Amino acid sequence: MHLKPQQQLTETDIKQGMQILIVDGLAAEAMITLTGGAFLVAMALLMGANNLQIGLISALPTLTNVFQLVSIWLVRRTNNRRLVTVVCSLLARIPLLLTGVIPLLFPDLGNIRFLIVFLFFFYFFGSVAGPSWNAWVKDLVPEHVMGSYFAKRSAYTQGLNVILSLLAAFGVDYIRRHYPAYELTTYYCMFVLAGIAGIVGALILARAEEPQSQMDKANIFKLLMRPLQDPNFLRLLLFNSAWAFAVGIAMPFFTVFMMKSMHLSLSYITVLLMVSQLTGVFTFRMWGIFADRYSNKSIIAISGPLYVACLVAWCFVGIYSMQYINILLLVLIHIFTGIANAGVNLSLNNIGLKLAPTRDAVVYLSAKNIITAVFSALAPLLGGYLADFFELRHVQIDATFTGPYKQKVFHLLYLHEWNFLFLLSAVLSILSLELLPWIAEKGEVGRNVVARIMRSAIRNNLKDYFLIGNLIAWHGHFRGFLLRRKSS
């Protein structure tokens, strides 16, 4: 297998490489879909996992990012980012295959500790491959189309996620109803398929060319200090870490809440998640175009508060006696969560690539991932502990209407166990957004200007952007309302 970098890439090499990255993204998305999200949570709960173990499983993807130092060392030693990426990707995907095959052959080994150990190795090697992949892609994809290209790639991968998740969810629910003894076996088979898809994707990725680069041979710890000595990049690290911590406290427990508190089936949950994914697919292109045209920072300033509103809305799920109202609220939450996540995740990834100097890209991006990983890993662990702490505690706020013939109680708010996490996450997310204005981005345009332009574009393209409407500026209107009330 030829994996040596090229001194200079032709336009054909670049176009072919960008197409291969999309195919690799589809293979990786199939792998992640079958072994993550609601399926992984359902599998872990079936194995008897508690809240802390659920938190640990959710923390593993980011906890293992601290090992990205290994990636820097390997890239400096080999000066071959493609080699490091492909080999580590293969080493990451083999544990998925083993996670499914071994318990099928030796059923006694199928327990929650076994799952956590093999997931650790999957995330460990994936974390090592990540920085070299990011640095390689930064040099491969032209900067002026980076936003729209990754929006297109994300749209394809999210589309596959929707289709595959629905097929898997209905399949698992069918087996759960008719052959419940084989439910765990079904999850093992999904891991086998995921491992195969991941290995094939890594082999395809090896065909993309890599432009030659030279890394600084200075001491690795001195290299890692460079991002911390860059004031603007340091401000990005502070914001990204604060946001990741705030969001991570609640995110792993949405599915647990719907399964254990709302008693929804995996099919219902998957459909809701697909609603979120689909709205993300429909809005990725819009966010990408506006990020390229204006700035990623402005997109975060618009989509971040929308995500906070979704977190607050979670606190009201389950308090209504009529189930269809709770389902309707869940649908609305997932719609706007998909819109918000598409903007935040795309922009955070792009702004990191944009602010990292080309020569030290792998160092900057590794430092970003490592530092963010610490906070991202601590958040679900703290969330799991707090969920257990709040299990026997609750806050309930009701309004009672009393008349001559009947009495009616309206449930306004009910916080119990997971709902406490959702409210705490919303408060911390609001605080983290206060750090965003500190970051300077080349060519940035004010949030209000971008929001006004987006509203105009949406009105002119309602068929494409009907999901956004004037909601992109809801927080500005609300803040203005509060200020007016305060001054009056």
Whole-number pLDDT of residue 246: 93
Q: What is the mean pLDDT of residues 64-80?
A: 82
Q: Which of 1-10, 118-127, 249-258, 282-291 has the lowest mean pLDDT?
A: 1-10
Residue 199: its H or E element: helix 183-205
* Residue 190 burial (10 A CB sphere; 0-12, 13-18, 19+): buried
Whole-number pLDDT of residue 217: 61
Q: Where are the domains of the chain?
A: 11-391
CA distance 301 to 395: 32
Determine contact, residues 210/136, Cβ cutoff 8 Å: yes
CA distance 255 to 252: 7
Tell me the pLDDT tens digit for each residue of 172-185. Answer: 999 988 998 899 99
The per-residue pLDDT of the chain, averaged, comes to 81
**What separation in angstroms does the CA of 457 have from each of 305, 307, 347, 468?**
21, 22, 19, 11
Tell me the pLDDT tens digit for each residue of 389-446. Answer: 887 777 777 677 777 777 776 666 677 778 888 989 999 999 999 888 888 877 565 5
Tell me the pLDDT tens digit for each residue of 123-180. Answer: 999 988 988 888 888 888 887 777 778 878 888 887 888 889 889 999 999 998 899 8
Q: Where are the beta strands (DSSP E) in 363-472?
A: 394-402, 407-416
Q: Cα torsion for 228, 305, 54, 126, to the nearest 10°?
A: -40
Give first-to-last CA distance, the chain, whole Å. Answer: 72
Its CATH architecture, for the domain 11-391, is: Up-down Bundle (1.20)
